[in-house]
Structure 1
């Protein structure tokens, strides 16, 4: 019979893979949307508002009441919306026009290392050679995937600027774990965070005239937006739930799964063969997940 700890670990791994493949698929859809002429801000607005509405509907069905709107929760929503969505999206979008996507992917995936360092500084995690080795193995696997993209690039100022993206994401992760309001479900927190990020992004969309209207019948770009709204809605619920049961360091490995998702969709959609060196990367990433998972995962309420 599987012990309680093993069940929790398996549940966390399942959430990690589901979230990673959801976000990995989302990145592919976002690329198609950008190539179809949708502005990054216009796209980002719908990816906040659309999931906010869907997640709110599920929250109302589940709890039959609105998410908490007291001062403590509102501050939590806006800080998470700022650090977890608005700021990292802006820094990533500005960097994307100057930094090749492969290099940007490598930089964004430094988030596990930053998250682990912040977890130690804020006393959320105790130092563990096992977990440190797992984080480094995961990053090494990511590095192997993206290393061929590094050879002919020298715009280091923009590379340094793009480091704000993983720093904001890691900071948001730490904040969520340390200050998550008690007795509030993952779906309620997701809804509040998404509405907060929508309110933060809306002025930028208006002042930059970047709003993209969705019209029916749906054309191809609008269909991409709708599909991404559905995936994002699922992803944000998985995101909070994974943080709740497994903590920030384990969650930070989601970037590794996103990278594997990129390999998977490249093979399925673009018929790209997976090279032996990429199989080594897969092996390193899976080893990293095993090492980090072996540490006890707390089943918090």
Structure 2
């Protein structure tokens, strides 16, 4: 048998080694993808739990101090300070241009000031589970807005998702309207919450500041909200400083502000790591978490109608988010 030349044996060893190295790299990449998937799932669940908890905290804070300009200003000062310090520490501080300032001002109203005021006003008069379900319908209303302005392609999956979402709304409203439930008016007002978030979603997609990260945008929105609330509070309150001092020590208000801070951070992190589609999956968790927190903190027990509405709402979210995922 003819002996194999030395250079061929060396080449063979190099080929085998290269294959082994490639296999090792593929194995490491596969393990890394699996680890990242687990991390993303944990972040989605955490965000959903915090979203669900936020409504219950708003219910407690609303009963404690109500919806006041002082409370909104204190929360914005706290959050803006924390996020600005984080940006400075990371060396990501920025100076917005004139167009960005307008974006941050509009966003502050749509995503912070108006929704927080509504939550603190409405939450004490509704069950936490029902309010969480309604607030998580923003993806459904986003599709309605998109279809109305023809901003994106219309698909049957989205249309069906909207129809199922409407069915969930009917299941919630009709029984309350028919028996003259005192919660009916508050329930109707609660639908402004997802409408505001949907409007912000469409606005954000069209006007997002170029080159800014989600955390930078969150910081800009919080600072803009703080700047806007200062004159509002000092012109509408008879005793502005005394009112701020009286609410400064409100534990429920502080806990609500902390939950909002974690929500902003986790949402920005999910957007960066997994994209908007992954982040939107937290709505599924939030609906169930809202029911769970309502039971734990207030002893709420959903009736059959609410469970049906929850089921329809989850199906509607799945149809819409599934379509977004396919498009992505």
TM-score scaled by structure 2?
0.68
Partners in 1 of 2:142 and 2:291 — Cα distance?
Answer: 24
Q: How many residues were matched structurally?
A: 289
Partners in 1 of 2:161 and 2:42 — Cα distance?
Answer: 18
Note closer, same or farther for the CA distance 1:243–1:142 as it changes in structure 2 (3 Å cut).
Answer: farther
Which residue does the alignment assign to 2:126?
Answer: 101
Determine if contact 1:109/1:142 at 8 Å carries over to the other structure: no
Which residue does the alignment assign to 2:139?
Answer: 112
Q: CA deviation at 1:298?
A: 8.4
Asked if 1:190 corresponds to 2:218, the answer is: yes
Which residue does the alignment assign to 2:245?
Answer: 213
Unaligned runs of at least 5 residues, structure 1: none
Note closer, same or farther for the CA distance 1:91–1:136 as it changes in structure 2 (3 Å cut).
Answer: same
Aligned pairs for 1:1-301 within 5 A = 11=40, 17-62=45-90, 64-90=91-117, 96=122, 100-101=125-126, 111-138=138-165, 140-141=167-168, 144=171, 148-150=175-177, 151-153=179-181, 164-209=192-237, 211-213=243-245, 222-240=250-268, 247=276, 251=280, 257-273=285-301, 275=303, 277-297=305-325
TM-score scaled by structure 1?
0.74
Q: CA deviation at 1:142?
A: 5.9
Note closer, same or farther for the CA distance 1:31–1:276 as it changes in structure 2 (3 Å cut).
Answer: closer
Partners in 2 of 1:20 and 1:132 — Cα distance?
Answer: 25
Partners in 2 of 1:21 and 1:27 — Cα distance?
Answer: 11
Note closer, same or farther for the CA distance 1:282–1:119 as it changes in structure 2 (3 Å cut).
Answer: same
Partners in 1 of 2:67 and 2:43 — Cα distance?
Answer: 31
Determine if contact 1:177/1:248 at 8 Å carries over to the other structure: no
Determine if contact 2:144/2:162 at 8 Å carries over to the other structure: no
Q: CA deviation at 1:85?
A: 2.1
Give the alignment's Cα RMSD to 1 decimal.
Answer: 4.2
Determine if contact 2:287/2:310 at 8 Å carries over to the other structure: no
Q: CA deviation at 1:295?
A: 2.7
Q: CA deviation at 1:176?
A: 0.9
Unaligned runs of at least 5 residues, structure 2: 1-29
